[in-house]
């Protein structure tokens, strides 16, 4: 499995048709629109001014992220994206 470095997070895309069960309407997937995905692996965090700042997200969180900032990889027939936590906007509760 993945062990992300620094403040990287591995996401698994949530297959959303036009409207998800939880009511999220995602305008057609263009790079500007945020995506929704689940966190499957987290890095340890990033050094800021000599201090390790831990991540705010954790495995299992549903998050809104900036689509254009991701790197895609397929592993055991599943699509994943790796993104820096800076490109994750919010957690969906």
Give the footprint of a copy of itself on this chain (CB under 8 A).
1-6, 8, 10, 22-27, 32-34, 41, 43-44, 47-51, 53, 56-57, 64, 66, 71-77, 82, 85-86, 88-93
Residues 6+ away with beta carbon under 8 Å from 68: 31, 32
Compute the least distance from the CB of residue 53 to a copy of itself, in Å.
5
Report the C-alpha gap between 69 and 30 in whole angstroms. Answer: 12
Compute the least distance from the CB of residue 45 to a copy of itself, in Å.
10
Cβ nearer to a copy of itself, comparing 26 with 38: 26
Report the C-alpha gap between 42 and 55 in whole angstroms. Answer: 8
Q: Do residues 11 and 65 make contact, with C-beta atoms less than 8 angstroms apart?
A: yes
Cβ nearer to a copy of itself, comparing 15 with 25: 25
Report the C-alpha gap between 29 and 33 in whole angstroms. Answer: 6
Cβ nearer to a copy of itself, comparing 15 with 32: 32
């Amino acid at each position: 499995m993945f062990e992300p470095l620094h403040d990287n997070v591995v996401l698994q895309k949530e297959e959303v048709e036009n409207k998800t069960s939880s009511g999220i309407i995602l305008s057609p997937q263009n790079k500007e629109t945020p995506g929704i995905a689940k966190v499957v692996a987290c890095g340890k965090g990033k050094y800021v001014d000599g201090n390790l700042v831990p991540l705010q997200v954790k495995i299992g969180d549903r998050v809104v992220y900036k689509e254009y900032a991701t790197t895609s990889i397929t592993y055991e027939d599943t699509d994943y994206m790796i993104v820096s936590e800076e490109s994750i906007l919010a957690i969906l509760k």
